[in-house]
Amino acid sequence: MAEKTIQNLEEVTIRFAGDSGDGMQLTGTQFTNTTAILGNDLSTLPDYPAEIRAPAGTLFGVSGFQIHFGSTEINTPGDQCDVLVAMNAAALKVNLGSLIDGGTIIANSDGFNDKNLKLAGYASNPLTDGSLQKYHLHSVDITKLTGLAIQDMNLSSKLVDRSKNFFALGMMYWMYNRPMESTIDWIEKKFGNKPEIKEANLRVLKAGWNFSETTEIFAVRYEVGPAKLAPGKYRNITGNQALAWGLIAAAKKAKLDLFLGSYPITPASDILHELSVYKHFGVKTFQAEDEIAGVTSALGASFGGALGVTTTSGPGVALKTEAIGLAVMVELPLIIVNVQRGGPSTGLPTKTEQADLLQSLYGRNGEAPVPIIAAATPADCFETAFEASRIALKYMTPIFCLSDGYLGNGSEPWLIPDYNALPEIAPKFRTEKEGFFPYSRDEHTLSRPWAIPGTPGLEHRIGGLEKQHITGNVNYEPLNHEFMIKMRAEKVERIANEIPLAKVEGDSQGDLLVVGWGGTYGSIKSAVAHHRQKGNSVSHLHLRWLNPMPKNVGEILYKFKHILVPELNLGQLVKVLRAKYLVPAVGLNKIQGLPFKSIEIEKKIEEILRGTK
């Protein structure tokens, strides 16, 4: 056995890549869960192919999973990877540009046959032609070694091939000194009723670890210590999971049933899947026949006294538009979750984007203002969903809760909150019939009464036709219509009275303020931190509330010479800031289906500061 040395590292980024059928998402998820158990801080980027069944070996069929973990604070899934595990030639071709110079490549040599090389567009084999000299290349016939580990089991070639991802996982567990126990437990539970598959996966996982331990090609293994996280109980969580649990927690706090009316759509479907298993918490899920049925069933549930929720992505919001306008008119609580993806139309279903902000703000007929709150990280999706529910119930309004594909599918350690410490939610149901009018107003929130159908004496009419102030009767008078339009807009504006004032990370005034929203938080935070370490006058403002905005946003903006707004769109928040506050904000825009790298924002900051000087 070759003698191995151990090298300590503060942080590492690994990317697993292969065909969509190679199990790279599973491999990355298992590595992530194990890493979370060890106490590392981490951030992940699952990168699914947009094609549902792309031909094997093609460039557009490559599936990737990137994890950035360390003993220090981790805010992004990593600009570049230190290690690339490539299961075939296409995976190498697509992802090589993301590997640092001097980085490590672990390549499955069986995936570089003549057919795979041709599909990937290689004229020669990069594993043997010397083109990868600036990297540490380890060519391993993972497919063959997988077969040898289970050759006596007489399994089909398909089952053998599907097990090879566990060989790669075992290798990475050895290289980064990760225990295999959590994955072993998962395999035993997942395939408990399929003993042959369970045995095969266990054998292959251990074979990958043992191969790395005994082979001479790996002389170094790495140690990444735990991060110094705040005390408490943590678990690894995806944004979609966190969002689902935030909704459940809000419904329990409000002592309401939670109803989800939804039509499956990437990348929001996992919220439907997650909520469907919590019937014992009073959760009802309805997989509707289309998006319109999804949102209207949720609005009907709210009319009946439940917390109504609908989940979707941008194309679904387009179909839900009229029903969201109806929710504005009848003034009932409704949570509209938009896990944004690349568009327009079907667009890039599995890729991330931030291009639905203006749709959420203005994408309805007539004047139909809706509050908007956006999550910043996967774990923050819990608090964002909880807060959206609280506001919707208190102000009797539909509300947009924005996430995106990067946040929804990505994961990070989540400090599990104390349920008893969560803010109270106490919806008010009208029960007295004396003095009841369906559109009378709370003097502080301007919310109307929530009267459950069937309550004696509280019968009233709702619908999409304009309502008369107080009585709720259908009314076509011009002045009443204008009054009601302004009343509904004022109700949304009053939400600003109880949302926290915006806080700047860094100095409260200076040369440059970088303003962000949604999933750009981590990249901006890292970029700004690097510039501040250099002594540059750069600060960061991240907006969770986008409608209404915190009351002090304008005051903050006016204290900086320059304002930069990075967005995964052509410039939507920047338009709003320019129009609302008359500031000369500039945008940094990216529409590639991928989140920002912190270096991209760093370079733009440097460009602006250089112009300032």
One domain for residues 240 and 220: no
Mean pLDDT of 245-263: 98
Residue 594's CATH number: 3.40.50.920
Phi, psi angles (nearest 5°) of residue 379: -65, -35
Confidence check: pLDDT of 612 > 70: no
Q: What is the pLDDT of residue 526?
A: 98
Q: pLDDT digits over 97-140, tens only? A: 999 999 999 999 999 999 999 999 999 999 999 999 999 999 99
C-alpha span between 561 and 608 (Å, rounded):
10
Q: What is the pLDDT of residue 256?
A: 98
Q: What is the pLDDT of residue 558?
A: 98
pLDDT averaged over every residue in the chain: 96
Confidence check: pLDDT of 17 > 60: yes
Confidence check: pLDDT of 613 > 70: no
Domain annotation covers residue 334:
yes
**In this structure, is the dihedral angle defined by the CA atoms of residues 261, 263, 266 and 270, taken in order, positive or negative?**
positive
One domain for residues 317 and 170: no
Neighbours of 502 (CB within 10 A): 20
One domain for residues 244 and 332: yes
At 518, the pLDDT band (50, 70, 90 cuts) reads very high
Q: What is the pLDDT of residue 1?
A: 53
Structure tokens that stand for 603 in this block: 């370079």
Which residues lie closer than 8 Å to 78 by C-beta, 6 or more apart? Answer: 13, 43, 45, 66, 67, 68
Residue 267's CATH number: 3.40.50.970
Domain annotation covers residue 344:
yes
Helix (H, G, I), strand (E, B), or coil: what is residue 391?
helix
Residue 75's CATH number: 3.40.920.10
One domain for residues 186 and 241: no
Mean pLDDT of 344-353: 95
Residue 280's Cβ-side half-sphere holds a number of Cα atoms within 13 Å equal to: 1
Domain annotation covers residue 490:
no
Domain annotation covers residue 368:
yes
Radius of gyration of the chain (CA): 26
Q: pLDDT digits over 33-45, tens only? A: 999 999 999 999 9
The burial of 240, by beta-carbon neighbours within 10 Å (0-12 exposed, 13-18 middle, 19 or more buried), is given as buried
Structure tokens that stand for 5 in this block: 């040395």
Mean pLDDT of 579-600: 98
Last residue of a domain, one of 363, 387, 421: 421
Q: pLDDT digits over 203-234, tens only? A: 999 999 999 999 988 989 999 999 999 999 99
Mean pLDDT of 262-288: 97
Domain annotation covers residue 457:
no
One domain for residues 175 and 260: no
One domain for residues 212 and 312: no
Q: pLDDT digits over 233-247, tens only? A: 999 999 999 999 999
Higher-confidence position of 2 and 584? 584
DSSP 364: S
Which residues lie closer than 8 Å to 534 by C-beta, 6 or more apart? Answer: none
One domain for residues 74 and 119: yes
Last residue of a domain, one of 421, 446, 479: 421
Question: What one-letter code names the amino acid at 329?
Answer: M
One domain for residues 315 and 179: no
Contact 400, 336 (CB under 8 A): yes
Give the per-residue SS3 of 548-608: CCCCCHHHHHCCEEEEEEEECCCCCHHHHHHHHHCCCCEEEECCCCCCCCHHHHHHHHHHH
Confidence check: pLDDT of 52 > 80: no
Bridge partners for 566 per DSSP: 588
Buried b (16+ CB within 10 A) or exposed e, 339-376: bbbbbeeebbbbbbbbbbbebbbebbeeebbbbbbbbb
Domain span at 511: 504-612
C-alpha span between 318 and 267 (Å, rounded):
16
C-alpha span between 16 and 86 (Å, rounded):
7
Q: What is the DSSP track for 322-355? A: HHHHHHHHHT--EEEEEEE-B-STT-BTTS---T
Compute, in degrees rounded to 10, the torsion defined by CA atoms 69, 71, 76, 80.
Answer: -60
| Threshold 0.85, pTM exceeds | yes
Last residue of a domain, one of 158, 190, 224: 224
Helix (H, G, I), strand (E, B), or coil: what is residue 264?
coil
C-alpha span between 63 and 110 (Å, rounded):
18
Domain annotation covers residue 406:
yes
- Please tell me the total count of domains within the chain: 3
Which residues lie closer than 8 Å to 162 by C-beta, 6 or more apart? Answer: 21, 23
Helix (H, G, I), strand (E, B), or coil: what is residue 490?
helix
Domain annotation covers residue 488:
no
One domain for residues 216 and 340: no
Confidence check: pLDDT of 547 > 70: yes
- Chain center to CA of 343: 17
Confidence check: pLDDT of 156 > 60: yes
Which residues lie closer than 8 Å to 579 by C-beta, 6 or more apart? Answer: none
One domain for residues 551 and 525: yes
Structure tokens that stand for 534 in this block: 């250099």
C-alpha span between 77 and 46 (Å, rounded):
10
Closest CA to 160 of 33, 31, 29, 23: 23
One domain for residues 275 and 373: yes
One domain for residues 124 and 269: no
Domain annotation covers residue 409:
yes
Percent of the chain residues past pLDDT 70, beyond the cut: 99
Confidence check: pLDDT of 309 > 60: yes
